[in-house]
Amino acid sequence: MRKGVLKIVVPCYNEEEVLHETNKRLLEVITNMEQSGKIVSGGVVYVDDGSRDKTWQIIDELSKEDSHVSGIKLAHNAGHQNALFAGLTLASECCDMAVSIDADLQDDTNAIFEMVDKYNEGAEVVYGVRRERTTDTWFKRNTALGFYKLMSVMGTDVKYNHADFRLMGSAALKALVSMPERNLFLRGMVRTLGFKDADVYYDRSERFAGESKYPLSKMMNFAVDGITSFSVKPLRLIFSFGIFFIFIAIVAIGYGLYSHYIGHTIPGWTSLLVSLWLIGGAVLLAIGVVGEYVGKIYKEVKRRPLYVIERTENLK
């Protein structure tokens, strides 16, 4: 059984209302695990994502009160994914495992115990998976469902009902933070790493206080980012549409000529009908071909690592 140093990374954007409570609960979890010997030691790393309220002052105070607490202040609002990435990057240098969790206490802090158990049993990535969406509104529940469906249809591998509440061991962390891409979609990136993984189920509650920092517009952007940072499937779709249109053009030629000869047409209709589909098909096909090349360029510029090493033994 392995065990090590744990860091809990918490991105915070205008979270003054919840921070004290969040800190209290996270420290409880950490002291409990330190005492029971589940971990060697633990700490919380808050990342202030350019908040405009008292978030940083609170983090600063908390870190002075308790040596378990540390803080990173970003110069401007970089967005949740970037803030989390910053936290994980710095944490990866001083921990054996890191848990990422939102500041608003929607994710069950008690699930961290089980995550650490799974890590100690050998899992390198442990996904926090929410059980039911009973606390969400009908709208949020269904838009979220649509989000996961759309992702998988468009070729992005995401884990159903898992957001960014997860534990990663240092090997997985190092691999993640070495990814040089600029458009982050962490939950998808972690999936591409491989490693032995495990799931921990929990009930998601309402936000403890404050408002969601993810309005619908941000959520839509996130979904588009998730698809376009991961998959060239939309480009391939254009190609398929092109083929489909040309197929329709062939059917239209048959139908047009047939109607023409039995005299059911007004002059010009046949040629218009046929050229419409044929030109449409040809244009889509051409865009599709260009798309294939754009897709290749896209994969090259991402400069993702070609392989991920889990461990080496006796390598001198």
Please choose, out of 13-21, 47-55, 80-88, 98-106, the segment that lies near Mg ion by the rule CB under 5 A.
98-106
| Contact track, ligand UDP, 204-233, x by CB under 6 A | --------xxx-------------------
Tell the smallest beta-carbon distance from residue 246 to ligand UDP (Å). Answer: 43
Contact between 104 and Mg ion per CB under 5 A: yes
16 binds, among Mg ion, ligand UDP, none (CB under 5 to 8 A by kind): none
- 13 versus 239: smaller Cβ distance to ligand UDP: 13
Does residue 91 contact residue 100 with C-beta atoms inside 8 Å? no
Number of residues that bind ligand UDP (CB under 6 A): 16
- 39 versus 105: smaller Cβ distance to ligand UDP: 105
- 54 versus 207: smaller Cβ distance to Mg ion: 207
State residue 134 phi and psi, 5-degree precision: -70, -25
Which 75-104 positions form the footprint of ligand UDP (CB under 6 A)? Answer: 77, 79-80, 83, 102-104
In the sheet with 162-169, reading across from the earlier edge strand, the strands are: 69-73, 41-48, 5-12, 97-100, 162-169, 125-130, 197-202
Contact between 81 and Mg ion per CB under 5 A: no
Tell the smallest beta-carbon distance from residue 145 to ligand UDP (Å). Answer: 15
- 10 versus 123: smaller Cβ distance to ligand UDP: 10
| Contact track, ligand UDP, 154-193, x by CB under 6 A | ----------------------------------------
Contact between 106 and Mg ion per CB under 5 A: yes
| Contact track, ligand UDP, 3-42, x by CB under 6 A | --------xxx-x---------------------------
- 31 versus 212: smaller Cβ distance to ligand UDP: 212
Contact residues for Mg ion, defined by CB under 5 A: 102, 104, 106
Contact residues for ligand UDP, defined by CB under 6 A: 11-13, 15, 49, 77, 79-80, 83, 102-104, 106, 212-214
